[in-house]
């Protein structure tokens, strides 16, 4: 029942979207050295991603979302830092390619911190981490319309415990798959 309701909602969303824009969105955007100003969300640039059938997007099920979720890699950060390490960039490159090659979902970039910082400052720091991942993905070519950021600070840790191992797991940007285009 829920799946049918969801399919109807997704179909409606697609119809609405087609009616308002007339074409499907593209994950790519112009190179940064292009001088003209473009609406980066709707323009098709010369670097093309893998094509998919529009009907594919209607069939998004929770199973499919879970499959996408399993394919994405989280990004880890150093203590008190929102800088991307080489390993973090590798993960994000993989994520960017995957997001651009597959449709029917959006990604919420959740910034997380370890407990060795204060709650309020960490809430703001987590936003910086999420934004660093966001900037990298968009720079790589992912459409901003498929991304969203949020910071959880240290309010929703992945690993419980008070060891460096737990802290390292909690200094991350988690890529959470959401239903969408």
Partner 1 sequence: MVRKATRLILCAALLAAGAAAEDFLPMTPMDTDRVPVRLTVEGRGETARRAREQLEMDVSLSGLLREAGEDEEYAAAEVMVSRMAGAVSLAAEVRAGGELLLDRSYRGSSVYPLVHALTDDMVYVLTGERGIASTRIAYVCRSGRSYSLVVKSLDPREGQRVLSDSDVITTPAWGPDGNRIALTSYRSESADLYLYDLSAGRATQLLAGGGLYTSPAWSPDGSSIAFTRSRDSNSDIYLLDVAGGEARRLTARPSIETAADFSPNGQQMIFTSDRLGFPQLYTMDSAGGSAVRLTGVHRYMDSPAWSPAGDRIAYTARVGGDFHIFVMDADGSNVRQVTFEGSLNENPVWSPTGRHLAFSSDRGGERAVYVLELSGLEVIRLSGAGECYLPTWSPLPPLGDERHTERTVRR
Residues in contact with partner 1 by the rule CB under 8 A: 108, 115-121, 123-125, 127-128, 131-132, 148, 150-153, 155-156, 162, 178
Residue 78 tokens read as 């150093």
Please state, in angstroms and rounded to a whole number, the distance separating the CA atoms of residues 28 and 47: 7
Q: Which is nearer to partner 1, 141 or 157 (CB)?
A: 157
- Taking alpha carbons only, the member of 140, 163, 143, 28 closest to residue 75 is 140
Please provide the DSSP assignment of 30-68 as one string.
Answer: --TT--S---TTT---SS------HHHHHT--HHHHHHH
Q: Which is nearer to partner 1, 47 or 118 (CB)?
A: 118
User: Least distance to partner 1 from the beta carbon of 129, Å?
Assistant: 9
User: Least distance to partner 1 from the beta carbon of 115, Å?
Assistant: 7
C-beta separation of 92 from 137 below 8 A: yes
Residue 93 tokens read as 């490159």
Q: Which is nearer to partner 1, 29 or 49 (CB)?
A: 29
User: Least distance to partner 1 from the beta carbon of 53, Å?
Assistant: 28
User: Least distance to partner 1 from the beta carbon of 28, Å?
Assistant: 22
Q: Which is nearer to partner 1, 94 or 156 (CB)?
A: 156
User: Least distance to partner 1 from the beta carbon of 63, Å?
Assistant: 21
Q: With H, G, I as helix, E, B as strand and everything else as coil, classify residue 151.
A: strand
Q: Which is nearer to partner 1, 54 or 164 (CB)?
A: 164
The neighbouring-strand residues paired with 43 are none
């Amino acid at each position: 029942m829920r799946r049918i309701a969801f399919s109807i909602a997704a179909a409606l969303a697609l119809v609405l979207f087609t009616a308002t824009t007339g074409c499907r969105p593209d994950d790519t955007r112009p190179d940064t050295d292009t001088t003209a100003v473009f609406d980066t969300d709707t323009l098709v640039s010369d670097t093309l991603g893998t094509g998919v059938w529009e009907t594919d997007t209607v069939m998004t099920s929770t199973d499919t979302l879970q499959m996408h979720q399993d394919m994405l890699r989280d990004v880890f950060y150093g203590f008190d830092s929102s800088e991307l390490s080489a390993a973090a960039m590798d993960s994000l490159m993989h994520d960017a390619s995957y997001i651009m090659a597959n449709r029917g979902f959006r990604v919420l970039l959740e910034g997380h911190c370890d407990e060795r910082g204060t709650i309020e400052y960490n809430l703001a720091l987590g936003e910086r981490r999420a934004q660093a991942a966001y900037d990298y993905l968009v720079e790589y070519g992912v459409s901003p319309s498929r991304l969203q950021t949020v910071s959880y600070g240290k309010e929703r840790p992945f690993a419980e415990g008070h060891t460096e191992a737990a802290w390292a797991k909690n200094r991350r940007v988690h890529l959470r798959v959401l239903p969408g285009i």
